[in-house]
Each structure stands twice: as structure tokens, then as C-alpha cells.
């Protein structure tokens, strides 16, 4: 009986990491003058982070403008990811690339974008501004237009990396809307506060 009592008084081991759960959807896109686009997404995070569950990359279906040219292309593509880490350095980012066809029906990149997952628990609506790189000269731009190969990043995760931004010329293309619910676990055990976020106010990036 004493042994049973001693076992019941034993405290559980402290957690070895904290967890971040992100559940939501890549909802829609606003690209003026564009139609029939799809979105390719991936996740970028630091070396101390690990994905416990969920797809780290994927491709949505092709969506078209349902009504007037000012309407949104709706994807409603689900995302459900769970991460674990021991420090917040390298907080996960969602990296997006929107693709479609040009006026000659050639496949081209319409825009890139990235956003950190919210650092506050709750429901969030993220408006991610998309961009695409420009040629360094008018001659290269013309050659790219003739060959159907406009400038694009070799590494699709380049928008999430901090280096090289100061030498890259880009132009704005559109906006992608992502809605996500964030749940965190064991953050206070590692010295991080988690304020409560109640209103899903759109965030511009």
C-alpha cells in the first residue's frame, strides 16, 4: 500500500517543448485583371522547430472569378499544422506563390508572398500582399516576354528569407486572404506570455 501511495504522489515530468497549432484556410485572392489562378504554399521555419502533423506544402485548386472583374477568386483550401519548439527564433512562416497563364496561355508566376503565423492565440484574418520580381533591364524584360519566361525566384521560399531583399526589384500584384485559428500550449512554461486575442481584425502584410 505504501508503494502505491508513493507512485501516486509522483509529479509528471515537465514538458520538453511548447506547441503551436494553426488551423484555417487559404480563403481567396484579389488579383485585378487576372483569372483562373491557383496557389502553391509551403512552410518556412527555424532549425529548432519541428512539424508534428499536417502538410508542409501543397497546391490549391484552380479558381476563377465568379462575377465581375473586381470579385475574388475563392479557394477555401484547408491548412492544419502543428509545430513544436523550445524557443521562438525561426517562428513559422507561410510562403505563398500564385500561378496562372499569360495571354498566350503560357504558365507564369503571378505573385509571391509570405507571412508569419500569428504569435497570439485566437482567430486571425491575414491579408498578404503579393509581388513578383522585375527584370534588371528593359532588354531582359522583353526577352523574357518573348520566351514566356518572366523573372521568378529559383527558390520558392525566397520571400520568407531576410537576405537579398535590398537588391530585388519587385512590383505589387494582388492580395491573398488567409484565415487561421492559432492555439498554443506550454508557452508559459518556457517564459513566454500568450495574450488573449478575441477579435478577428484583418491584418495587412
Q: CB within 8 A of 148, min separation 6: which ones?
A: 102, 104, 106, 108
pLDDT of residue 2: 45
**Average pLDDT of every residue of the chain:** 84
- pTM (two decimals): 0.81
Give the range with max mean pLDDT: 97-101, 140-144, 146-150: 97-101
Amino acid at each position: 500500500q505504501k508503494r502505491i501511495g508513493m507512485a501516486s504522489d509522483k509529479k509528471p515530468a515537465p514538458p520538453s517543448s511548447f506547441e503551436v497549432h494553426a488551423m484555417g484556410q487559404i480563403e481567396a485572392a484579389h488579383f485585378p485583371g487576372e483569372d483562373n489562378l491557383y496557389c502553391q504554399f509551403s512552410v518556412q521555419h527555424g532549425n529548432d522547430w519541428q512539424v508534428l502533423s499536417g502538410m508542409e506544402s501543397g497546391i490549391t485548386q484552380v479558381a476563377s472569378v465568379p462575377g465581375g472583374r473586381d470579385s475574388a477568386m475563392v479557394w477555401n483550401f484547408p491548412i492544419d499544422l502543428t509545430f513544436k519548439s523550445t524557443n521562438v527564433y525561426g517562428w513559422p512562416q507561410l510562403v505563398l506563390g500564385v500561378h496562372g497563364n499569360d495571354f498566350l496561355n503560357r504558365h507564369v508566376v503571378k505573385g509571391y508572398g509570405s507571412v508569419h503565423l500569428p504569435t497570439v492565440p485566437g482567430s486571425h484574418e491575414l491579408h498578404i500582399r503579393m509581388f513578383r520580381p522585375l527584370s534588371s533591364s528593359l532588354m531582359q524584360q522583353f526577352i523574357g516576354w518573348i520566351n514566356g519566361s518572366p523573372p521568378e525566384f529559383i527558390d520558392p521560399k525566397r520571400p520568407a528569407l531576410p537576405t537579398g531583399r535590398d537588391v530585388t526589384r519587385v512590383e505589387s500584384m494582388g492580395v491573398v486572404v488567409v484565415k487561421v485559428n492559432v492555439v498554443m500550449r506550454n508557452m508559459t512554461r518556457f517564459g513566454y506570455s500568450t495574450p488573449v486575442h478575441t477579435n478577428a481584425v484583418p491584418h495587412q502584410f
